[in-house]
């Protein structure tokens, strides 16, 4: 048993911002599933959106965020974030985090899809996430410990199951370790690896979502998955992200014959919201037509986009021809563990920040380059809240104990089958028939049978599959229930927004204890 004040599960921007802002008097433990830089934040090519330009204003940023989010967003939360964004960027810049500048030493501001003006701050061209993570890591205090390659597989609750008091983690040698703290923070990222085409790091398998659901926390908006339009596609597989900033610099999508596919589809053409671009590409792919990103208009492409260029060269794409083969793939989860603007969940002592959380800021579709911003914003707010709490003498008290063990021979879905089925049936374009088929397929693995069993003796790999399976079930159920199209959720049988029935409605998932001590799977649509 190990005891500390704050446990942070994950090591992305939200986690590191929180860790850096917490009081140095607190003992903090960061627990990561893999190495500390093996996450989506470190891979982030895009930048950070903030209204720092002379002609820009946080209200314009707010309007763009609301429009991209299908007005499903929490408007007050969006406005709070966009107002604080310039200060967050300048705070990092002035403390030594280097962002790209113009010749006069001003922040160089780029354009990305669905933004009304240039407001994207980058670092190292298309290596913003790496530079920011490296900077935040270099500033961690001596009060912060790090456990790497430790897979958190259970949240430890008190006997009443209303307070989170710790976590259980499994190491690569199969050993388990329990950690206890007053504050447990989920910063585990999203679930992009549930899909066969994805931009996400291999660690993004929905762990935090599954952990929170099993513990009884509320989940919201799980149907809203953002599919990034441009993933490099070579040899029948996605090979990595081609940043939206490439289109922001003038690149456009074409067929092999040179036809521009976004002409007449949306006023913003190739910089339309991501779900519109992704759906357009998908329609061409269904007809067997490969789509390319035409980069011929961008001078000095390799210097401007070194990460993308290296990726293309690695997989044999000749940049001199000016055509980069792309497909859309899962990129970001707008939903997740339902929290307030301090990251607090409905379970005392349990918090969620970053992509694993649903604050309402992103609505039905995240505006480009708002993800790193939201992580910084909520990470800072949670730190401020925790810093004002008086830590009482910690007592484990009576823990809730799982007395049944899952049979290690339990039938599990094949990971690749799961990914392909999610891409085909709960992917970019959904129908009632495809979702019912996916729900039935997933039901065949009976996840209710293992939710209340102890997983201590299973391998990390098996637990990971179980968590992926559970998260896939939650996404599919939500997608079936929302009978409209909005943002990242597109139903071919309900192709339009239904503001009368669905405007500002969330689908909530939560396990609720009933009198006999078992649990029921509960979903309801609630007004926000």
Active site (catalytic) residues = 274
Give CA–CA dist 75/52, Å, rounded. Answer: 21
Tokens of residue 171, six digits: 């190491």
Give CA–CA dist 272/275, Å, rounded. Answer: 8
Residue with tokens 């007050």, as numbered in its chain: 76
CB 151 within 8 A of CB 462: no
Closest CA relative to residue 188, chosen from 351, 362, 3: 351
Tokens of residue 478, six digits: 């939500």
Sign of dihedral through CA atoms 431, 436, 438, 439?
A: positive
CB 206 within 8 A of CB 214: no
Give how far Cα 58 sits from Cα of 21, 69, 117, 259, 436, Å. Answer: 24, 16, 12, 37, 42
CB 90 within 8 A of CB 209: no
Tokens of residue 515, six digits: 């009198």
Give CA–CA dist 281/66, Å, rounded. Answer: 24
Closest CA relative to residue 330, chosen from 199, 453, 215: 199
Sign of dihedral through CA atoms 426, 432, 435, 437?
A: negative
Question: 200-223 b/e with 16+ CB inside 10 Å = b?
Answer: bbebbbbbbbbbbbbbbbbbbbbb
Tokens of residue 42, six digits: 């470190």
- Tell me the β-bridge partners of 275: none
Strands 120-121 and 144-147: unpaired
Tokens of residue 136, six digits: 């935040």
Give CA–CA dist 42/11, Å, rounded. Answer: 9
Q: Please give the biggest Cα pair distance in the chain.
A: 70
Give how far Cα 327 sits from Cα of 46, 279, 419, 438, Å. Answer: 18, 10, 16, 23
Give CA–CA dist 42/40, Å, rounded. Answer: 5
Give CA–CA dist 193/48, Å, rounded. Answer: 23
Tokens of residue 233, six digits: 């596609």
């Amino acid at each position: 048993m190990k005891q500390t004040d704050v446990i942070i599960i994950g090591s992305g921007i939200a986690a590191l911002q929180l860790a850096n802002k917490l009081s140095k008097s607190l003992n903090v433990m960061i627990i990561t599933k893999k190495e500390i830089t093996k996450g989506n934040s470190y891979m982030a090519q895009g930048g950070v959106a903030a209204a720092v330009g002379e002609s820009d204003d946080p209200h314009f940023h707010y309007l763009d965020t609301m429009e991209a989010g299908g007005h499903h967003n929490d408007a007050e939360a969006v406005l709070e974030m966009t107002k604080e964004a310039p200060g967050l960027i300048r705070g990092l810049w002035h403390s030594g985090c280097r962002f790209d500048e113009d010749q006069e030493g001003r922040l160089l501001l780029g354009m990305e899809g669905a933004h009304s003006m240039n407001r994207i701050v980058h670092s190292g061209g298309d290596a913003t996430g790496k530079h920011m993570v490296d900077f935040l890591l270099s500033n961690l205090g001596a009060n912060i410990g790090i456990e790497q390659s430790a897979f958190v597989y259970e949240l430890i609750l008190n006997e009443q199951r209303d307070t989170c008091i710790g976590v259980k983690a499994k190491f690569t040698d199969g050993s388990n370790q329990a950690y206890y703290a007053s504050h447990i923070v989920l910063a585990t990222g999203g679930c992009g690896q549930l899909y066969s085409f994805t931009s996400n790091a291999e660690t993004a398998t929905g762990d935090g979502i599954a952990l929170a659901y099993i513990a009884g926390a509320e989940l919201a908006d799980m149907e809203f998955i953002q599919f990034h339009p441009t993933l490099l596609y070579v040899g029948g597989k996605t090979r990595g992200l081609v940043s939206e900033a490439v289109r922001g610099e003038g690149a456009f999508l074409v067929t092999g014959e040179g036809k521009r596919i976004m002409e007449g589809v949306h006023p913003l053409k190739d910089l339309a919201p991501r779900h519109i671009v992704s759906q357009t590409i998908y329609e061409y792919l269904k007809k067997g037509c490969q789509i390319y990103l035409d980069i011929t208009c961008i001078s000095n492409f390799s210097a401007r986009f070194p990460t993308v260029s290296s990726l293309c060269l690695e997989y044999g794409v000749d940049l001199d021809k000016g055509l980069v083969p792309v497909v859309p793939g899962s990129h970001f989860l707008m939903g997740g563990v339902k929290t307030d603007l301090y990251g607090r969940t409905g379970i005392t002592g349990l918090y969620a920040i970053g992509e694993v959380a649903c604050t309402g800021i992103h609505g039905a579709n995240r505006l480009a380059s708002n993800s790193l911003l939201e992580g910084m914003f909520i990470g800072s707010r949670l730190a401020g809240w925790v810093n004002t709490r008086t830590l009482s003498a910690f007592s484990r008290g009576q823990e809730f104990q799982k007395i049944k063990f899952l049979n290690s021979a339990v039938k599990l879905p094949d990971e690749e089958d799961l990914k392909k089925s999610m891409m085909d049936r709960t992917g970019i374009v959904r129908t009632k028939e495809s979702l019912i088929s996916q729900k039935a397929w997933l039901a065949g693995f009976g996840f209710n049978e293992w939710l209340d069993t102890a997983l201590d003796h299973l391998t990390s790999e098996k637990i990971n599959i179980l968590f992926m399976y559970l998260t896939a079930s939650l996404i599919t159920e939500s997608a079936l229930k929302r009978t409209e199209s909005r943002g990242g959720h597109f139903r071919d049988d309900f192709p339009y927004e239904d503001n009368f029935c669905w405007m500002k409605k969330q689908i909530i998932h939560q396990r609720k204890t009933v009198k006999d001590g078992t649990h029921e799977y509960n979903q309801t649509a609630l007004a926000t």
